[in-house]
Amino acid sequence: MSPIITTVLWSSLILLALGILFGVMLGYFSKVMAVNEDPRIVKITELMPGANCGACGFAGCANLAESMVQGKAPIDRCKQLDSKSAIEISSILGIEIDSSNFTKKVAIVRCQGSVDNATQQVIVKDVPTCKLAVTLKMYAKTCLYSCIGYGDCANVCPYNAITIGSKGLPVVDNMLCTGCGLCVSTCPRKVIELIPYGKQVLALCNNQNKGKEVKDACKVGCIACMLCVKKCPKNAIRMENNLPVIDRKLCDVCGICVEACPMKTIRFIHEA
Amino acid sequence: MELIQEISMILINSVLAQNFVIIRFIALCSFVGMTTSMENSIGMGGAVTFVTVMASVISYALHYFILVPFHLEYLQTIAFILTIAVFVQLVELYLKKAVPSLYKAMGIYLPLIATNCMILAVTLLNITEHYSLFIAVIFSIGASLGYTLALILLAGIRTKMRYTTIPKFLQGYPIIFITASFMAIAFLGLQGIAR
């Protein structure tokens, strides 16, 4: 035999022997040191996203799965679970869950007070953050419920899903948004909200004032005329704080309220 | 007397003057990844110490009793990596059974020790420097002590760093690498104490 073939043969034989030796050793030790783990933990860990992102506050998916079994953490602690896995986990744990909580959620800016629409009281320049603007009362728009537009939400978003558009309002990229809710808690005016992703109608206004005050402040603000409530064939809309609240369970997205709204406040969103 | 001198020389060399992380810039991934808190870095240092010492003993035996007799020294790297990986698995199994609290605290980082460059570097250096088994063990203890020291130092600095204002373009990893390079300059001053 030529020396090359002998060398190759020997080296592969030695490595093979080592591999077998180590394999047998590991197999033996895994039997000896087997820990009787709760089989539910293993099953739930397999259903987890497996990204080990740590957004839930636990050290990885396996750790969260264990806490779920021990009842320390609710299933919706993991924001990335899809509804199918969530239902399976709930059946393993014997807990009833509302699977609608596990559809993809995205942030939506409930304000249309762009530069064209909202009335500006003064021109404010060089205010770095919305939070500071609220503290110093240095905001351009007269509406006290509107988006200030200095981009605290865009800065805080870890996925760069929010940008301040050309009209001075934040624009959410629904593909990038994971529904983590950081922008919701950051916004000093509470203009941003998390909603399930999908075609629906939504009143894009936060102004709790009535008619004239709103009309002075914004071209597209809700004046609480209640036309949408009267026109809705499913009675899915009710008024709260002078704003329409649309019940997603009753609404069939017929669009009658969108046509009826005289201020163009209610709009279709997430249209494909 | 000569032995004591050699041992102390090797220890000083591997802990301070030729510190694996700070001077040789080996095992930077866990250096940056595990120094978020003091507890993390101490736990990581302990686990790495254990694995390094055991892996250097086993790889030493593997090299002199299997690879040298068959003239297969060029298989060093792959055989040593195999050894380290198996050993990390064993440690993981053992910890899971014996010390579940430590196992949980280590989390995902325990299996990642298998890819810690320092352990492979120590096992390979043991062979190329022609250390005896005893000295090899001392060397691996020193190397992992130096590793733990570097981790603890950086963890301390990072704890302080949380209360300081860092320019936006330096936030995150850039400032850590700049800090690490300053630490390297400081450690360069210790070069003189080693022969």
Give the model's confidence band at A55: pLDDT under 50 very low, under 70 low, under 90 confident, else very high: low
Asked if the model's pLDDT at residue B128 lies above 80, the reply is yes
Of the partner residues B62, B82, B94, the one whose CB lies closest to the CB of residue A33: B94
Rg (CA), chain A: 28
Q: What is the pLDDT of residue A197?
A: 84
Give the model's confidence band at B148: pLDDT under 50 very low, under 70 low, under 90 confident, else very high: very high
Q: Mapped to the 3 state alphabet, what secondary structure does A172-201 carry?
A: ECCCCCCCCCHHHHHCCCCCEEEEECCCEE
- Token readout for B186 is 């400081």
Report yes or no on B90 lying in a domain.
yes
Q: What is the pLDDT of residue A101?
A: 66
Instruction: Rank A29-38, A88-97, A199-208 by mean pLDDT and report only the highest.
Output: A199-208
Q: Which pTM value belongs to this model? A: 0.57
When pLDDT is averaged across residues A152-178 and rounded to a whole number, the result is 86
Judge if ipTM > 0.90: no
Q: Which residue has the tokens 């969260």?
A: A64
When pLDDT is averaged across residues A157-183 and rounded to a whole number, the result is 85
Give the model's confidence band at B121: pLDDT under 50 very low, under 70 low, under 90 confident, else very high: very high
Nearest chain B residue (CA) to A16: B79
Give the separation between CA B106 and CA B127, rounded to whole angstroms: 30
Asked if the model's pLDDT at residue A54 lies above 70, the reply is no
Q: Bigger pLDDT: A168 or B156?
A: B156
Q: Which residue has the tokens 């005050």?
A: A213
Task: List CB contacts of B137: < 8 A, sequence separation 6 or more.
Answer: B53, B56, B57
CB contact under 8 A, A35 and B79: no
Report yes or no on B178 lying in a domain.
yes
Give the model's confidence band at A272: pLDDT under 50 very low, under 70 low, under 90 confident, else very high: low
Task: List CB contacts of B152: < 8 A, sequence separation 6 or more.
Answer: B38, B41, B42, B45
What's the structural domain count of chain B?
A: 1
The verdict on A14 touching B (C-beta cutoff 8 Å) is yes
Return the closest-CA partner of residue A207 out of A124, A122, A141, A140. A141
Q: Report chain A's terminal Cα–Cα distance, integer Å.
A: 70
Report yes or no on B195 lying in a domain.
no
The verdict on B66 touching A (C-beta cutoff 8 Å) is yes
CB contact under 8 A, A63 and B97: no
Q: Count CB neighbours of B177 within 10 A.
A: 13
Give the model's confidence band at B51: pLDDT under 50 very low, under 70 low, under 90 confident, else very high: confident
Report yes or no on B33 lying in a domain.
yes
Which residue in B71, B75, B110 has the most chain A C-beta atoms within 10 A of its own C-beta, making it the best mutation to test that interface? B75
CB contact under 8 A, B96 and A22: no
How much is the mean pLDDT over chain B?
A: 87
Asked if the model's pLDDT at residue B195 lies above 70, the reply is no
Please identify among residues 129-158 of chain B the ones whose CB lies closer than 8 Å to any CB of chain A: none
Q: Which domain holds residue B84?
A: 2-190
When pLDDT is averaged across residues A44-56 and rounded to a whole number, the result is 76
Report yes or no on B161 lying in a domain.
yes
CB contact under 8 A, B108 and A52: yes
A64 contacts in B (CB within 8 Å)?
none
- Token readout for A160 is 């760069």
CB contact under 8 A, B66 and A11: no
Give the separation between CA A29 and CA A27, rounded to whole angstroms: 6
Q: Which residue has the tokens 């808690």?
A: A185
Sequential DSSP letters for B123-174: HHHHHHTT--HHHHHHHHHHHHHHHHHHHHHHHHHHHHHTTS---GGGTTHH
* pLDDT tens digit sequence for A232-264: 888 889 888 889 998 888 888 888 899 889 888
A22 contacts in B (CB within 8 Å)?
82-83, 86
Q: At A163, phi and psi to the nearest 5?
A: -130, 150
Give the separation between CA B78 and CA B150, rounded to whole angstroms: 28
Residues B23, B29, B34, CA angle at the centre, nearest 5°?
A: 105
Report yes or no on B172 lying in a domain.
yes
Q: What is the pLDDT of residue A179?
A: 78
CB contact under 8 A, A60 and B90: no
CB contact under 8 A, B93 and A29: yes
Give the model's confidence band at B116: pLDDT under 50 very low, under 70 low, under 90 confident, else very high: confident
Q: Count CB neighbours of A184 within 10 A.
A: 17
When pLDDT is averaged across residues A104-127 and rounded to a whole number, the result is 81
